[in-house]
Every structure is written in structure tokens, then in C-alpha cells.
Structure 1
Amino acid sequence: MFLITPLKKLLSSIFLIFWDVSLNIGNLLTPKRRAGFVIPKGHPGFEGKWPEFIPPQDGDSRCSCPALNAMANHGILPRDGKNISFKELNKKVRETYNFGPSFCYFVPNFAADMLKRSYSKGTFNLKDLDLHNGIEHDASLTRQDVYFQPDQGKPDIPLVKELLASATGKDKDGNVLLTSEDLAKVSGKRRAAARDSNPEFTLATEHKMFGSSNSSTLLTIFGGRVKDLEPILLEERIPDGWEPRIRERLGLTILAFNKTVLGVETRTKEDTPASVAPTTNPESNAGGVAT
């Protein structure tokens, strides 16, 4: 078994790489989905019509990922955020956000392995994903560190507002956009402030990459548009009329996504500002959250 398990992981990794590259090539050779038709007919969000938004109730499970919480708040995932199968997560994330099938296979498998559960048969609650220094990490752009905020299920409103206020870009229609430079600058400040104030601060290289991956989702799937990100990050609600900004027919691949991730991470330099110092008052999360 000791020899078989590493071999299986190696073969799985090789398969995933070839699969993802083939999807990437497929995206280059096929036309993009038409704007307004990224979500397939018959699925939640078709024609911008999302299921009813209901804020989480007492006892519901939520995590540090606004995109997953939003899916639960709209009933795309179980509204209580509990007993979700890893296979269900794969399917629902792909349909909702147009991530590629290789990406949607890799991430739930990583989560299942992290939680020491079976991908094919196991289930989880959203809160389980916040195993500290698993996927969840210090210096998040939307949550205070676990040292200050043990429950990662709610956004920290001042952090989110500062993130959104840092946007400097605009598209051809005048929409205010977050750019990779904006995210790198905010990430650098956030990391330095957290390192300075959190006595238990840790941020390994892999968690820096997770942080830049989270930031890159804002740029890819959400197109960096501040008017869309406000309800997503502050209320964890998908706005009416929204659809993924990724229109590739086979979805966002790992290869394409990592180009954006590396662009954010390589620009990130730590620089401490007083404005992003962690908030130790637990009441700081109360204002503006739809809970």
C-alpha cells in the first residue's frame, strides 16, 4: 500500500495535467459562449435569474470562501451548508462559476484529502473547509486571522470595503475594476499588518499562493467589477443579472487560472499600513452583513 498510494497520486497528477492542457487547447480552438448565455439553460442563474437569496440562519455552516457561501445562500448548495458531497461540489461549482472540469475535479479532491475523507463517498460541512492552514490561511483579504476571528464564516466589513476601495481600473463602459496590481498592493499591506499584529501568524509559500488564488478569482470569474463584488463579498449574494465573466466554452482551466495567480503573487510585496491592522473588536463584523 505504501508503494501503491504514491503511484496512484503520481498517475492522477499526470492525468490531470494532460486533461487540463487539452481543455486549454480546446478553449483556444472553440468559440466563446455568448454573453448572456454562459450559464446553461435549466441551471440556476440562466439568463441572470438566481434562486432566492436567504441569509444564513442560526446553526447553518459557512466558511471563509464567499463564493461557496453565496451558493448556499441561494440554495445551489444545501442552504444549511451541511452534508455536501465532494462530487456535488464539483458539479455545482462548474455550473455556477464556469470553472473548467479539471479545476472542479482538482479542488474538491484536494479538500477531501485535506480532511482525510473519500472524494467519491464523503461529505463535508462548509465550516470543515476552514481547517487552519489547510486551505484557510492568515492574511485573508476578507477575513481577520483565526487568532482574532475564530469563526471564519462571516466577512470582515472594514477589510472588504478597503479592498473594494483600492480599485483603480476601469473598463470601456466605465465600470470600476480591481486590477492585479491593486490586489498585489492590498495583499502586501495585509500580510505585513497581520505579521506585525498576530502573535501566531504563519504564511507558508503554499498559503501565499492560496491567497493569490482567491484574489485571482475576483479578477477572472468576477472580472474585477466592483459593483458585482460588493454584494458577493459583503453579503455573499449573487447579484441579479450576473453571470461569470469567463466565457470560454470549456471553462476556466488550471493553466489559464495560474497565469493570473502568478501575476498577482509575483507583484505582492509586504508594506505595513495602519489602515489594514486587524480589528480585535468582535462587533466589527456586525455592520453590513446580511446575517
Structure 2
Amino acid sequence: MFLVTPIARAIQDAGVFSWDLGLTLINFVTPSRKVDHVTPAGHPGEGGKWPEYIAPKEGDSRGSCPGLNALANHGILPRDGKNISFPELYSTVRATYNFAPSFCFFVPNFAARMLNKSYKKDKIDLADLDFHNGIEHDASLTRKDIHFIKDQGKPHLPFVRELLNSASGKDKEGNVLLTPADLSRYSSKRRAESRANNPEFSLDLFHKIVGSTNASIFLTIFGGRASDLESILIEERLPEGWESRIREPFGLTIASFQPTILKVAFGIDERKYAAEASSTAAAENEEPNAAV
């Protein structure tokens, strides 16, 4: 077991956030990466040419994060999803999705703390990240709650389809886009449904923020484009020719991410769906008794 004192955590986090703010400011004054040149030279996916996609086989480790699963499915992370170091997560996520280095350091460090692991020395399997109410949480937009299905490695396709079908925006080229309002509405619905159906439902403020953060990745890294998200959320495959929609030279920082997260979070109001979710749950609970 690896323990970090609260003081050491606070000092480290303060350093990361200061670093992140600096990167945010540098992004403002530095030219953006050119289209088709977002993925670094020499990294898998350069020029939109991703390594071969192979769906996971029995015994492979996958978790609830489509983005990490896709890295394993393309062999950018180990294809079996096992024995992955935290620095390896840092480097592959940074290069593939163009998250800022501060972001890529902070999240694996949080995961290491959550699992009582050493960031520098220990390794994990992707499924290890689904420690319930660590990063994984109830009312996911793509997974059933862990109360109903312990293996979070596969998406629940009806949820994904409903999410994608809710897309109401379009860009200048006519591509269908998910908007912040779309994600707020679907998050509201999922939370109401989960609260009504899951007897062990829990979603504290921290995990509400995590949920809004995860949803906001669809809008930033993937630009909200439904056709790209269909591939990443259903097959957990990076589309041929795809690159991150974040073109800032130092990537998506924690600070620059906040306006999108807050827009999604402040638009969530599960009360609008509570009555429908409760009546549906009640009807489903009555069916076995009626049959008897």
C-alpha cells in the first residue's frame, strides 16, 4: 500500500494547478497546431492513420472509459489492457487526445491515490479504474450502474444510441453535433432513471462534477461530432482520419476545460424527468407480482 500525506497531496495539487494556469496562458499567445498535425509526429495516429483496431477478446481488461479502451483496442496501450503504468497513461493520453500535460498528470495521480498505488512504481489493469465511487460513478451516460452489472468494460448500447440521437446541433459543414444542452438533458434523464431504479444509487457533488466532466470530453476532444462519437462510444474505436479537436499547442488544460463543464453541469435538472422515471420504475416492479 502506498500512502501520501494530506499535506503532500495539497502541495502537489497546488503545483499542478499553477502549472496548468501557466500552460493556459501560454496557449493564449501561441499559435494553434495546424489541422491534420495535432497528433505529434512519430506517435501512433500521426496524420490520422491509427494502428489496426482489434476488438477485445475474452480475458482482456477494459473499464468504463471509452477513450482508454480505444487506446487498448488500437494497441497504443497494451491490447490486453493490463500491466499499464501511470506514466504510460500520461504519455499516451497526452499524445492521442491532446490533453494538457498538467491534466494528464493530475488524473492518473488521482487514480493512483484512489487505488493506494505509487504513480511512479505500480501498474494497473484498465478494469482497476472502475473502483466504485472512485472515478466510476452511478448514472453514467454509456454504462448501466455497477449495481446491475459489475463488468463496466462494455457500453450499454441503448444508452449510447439515445445519447447520440439527442444531438441537436450542426456545424458549418452540416455535421450533426451534440451540444452542452443535449448533454445536460440526457444527464438529467439518466440521473433520474438511476435514482428511481437503483436501490444503491449514490451520486454526491464530487461525482456529479466527474459526470459532467466526462460528458464535456465529448464536446471538447471530440468536438461534439456525433459520427465520431458513434465510433468511439459503440466500438471504442478511433475513426480513420480522426485527430483531437483541441488544437492548442499545450492541449486542453484543466482551467480552459471549466467553462464547458460548468455549462453542462448547470443545465442539469433531473426533476424534469423524476416523475416519469419513478412511474416507469414502479410499473417494472409491479410486473413480477402481476405474473404471480
Q: TM-score range by the shorter chain?
A: over 0.9
Preserved CA contact (<8 Å) 1:216 1:261: yes
Change (3 A) 1:38 1:275: farther
CA contact (8 A) 1:190 1:276 kept: no
Structure 1 residue runs of 4+, over 3 Å off?
273-277
Matched residue count: 276
Match of 1:166 in 2: 166
Which residue in the other structure is 1:94 paired with?
94
Alpha-carbon offset, residue 7 of structure 1: 2.4
How far does residue 275 in structure 1 lie from its aligned partner after superposition? 9.0
Equivalent position amino acid for 2:50 in 1: W
| SS of equivalent to 1:272 | helix
Unpaired segments of 5 or more residues in structure 1?
A: 281-291
- 1:12-68: CA deviation from partner (whole Å, max 9, x where unpaired): 122111100000000001000001100011111111000000000110000000000
Point out the more displaced range, 268-277 or 143-152: 268-277
Alignment of 1:18-97 (within 5 A): 18-97=18-97
1:132 is matched with which residue?
A: 132
1:252 matched to 2:252 = yes
Whole-angstrom distance in 2 between the partners of 1:276 and 1:87: 42
* TM-score, normalisation: structure 1: 0.92
Matched letter for residue 99 of structure 2: F
1:197 — aligned with what? 197
Distance 1:228 1:192, change over 3 A: same
Instruction: Check conservation: 1:52, 1:75, Cα contact below 8 A.
Output: yes
Amino acid aligned to 1:269: D
| Counterpart-to-counterpart distance in 2, 1:69 and 1:274 | 35
Amino acid at match of 1:272: Y
- Give the Cα–Cα distance (whole angstroms) in 1 for the partners of residues 256 and 95 of structure 2: 18
Distance in structure 1 (CA, Å) of the matches to 2:277 and 2:236:
21
Number of the residue aligned with 2:187: 187
The Cα shift of 1:149 comes to 1.5
Report if aligned partners of 2:220, 2:245 keep a CA contact under 8 Å in 1: yes
Between structure 1 and structure 2, the one with the greater Rg is: 2
Structure 2 unaligned residues grouped into runs of 5+: 282-292
Across the aligned residues of Structure 1 and Structure 2, the Cα RMSD in angstroms comes to: 1.7
Contact 2:196-2:277 within 8 A present in 1 as well: no
The residue aligned with 1:287 is: none
Letter in 1 for 2:217: T
- 1:272 corresponds to: 273
Deviations 1:144-165 (A, max 9, x none): 1011111100000000000000
Equivalent pair of 1:85/1:122 in contact (CA under 8 Å): yes
Quickly say closer, same or farther: Cα 1:276–1:32, change in 2 above 3 A: farther
Conservation of the 8 A alpha-carbon contact between 1:159 and 1:276 = no
Partner of 2:231: 231
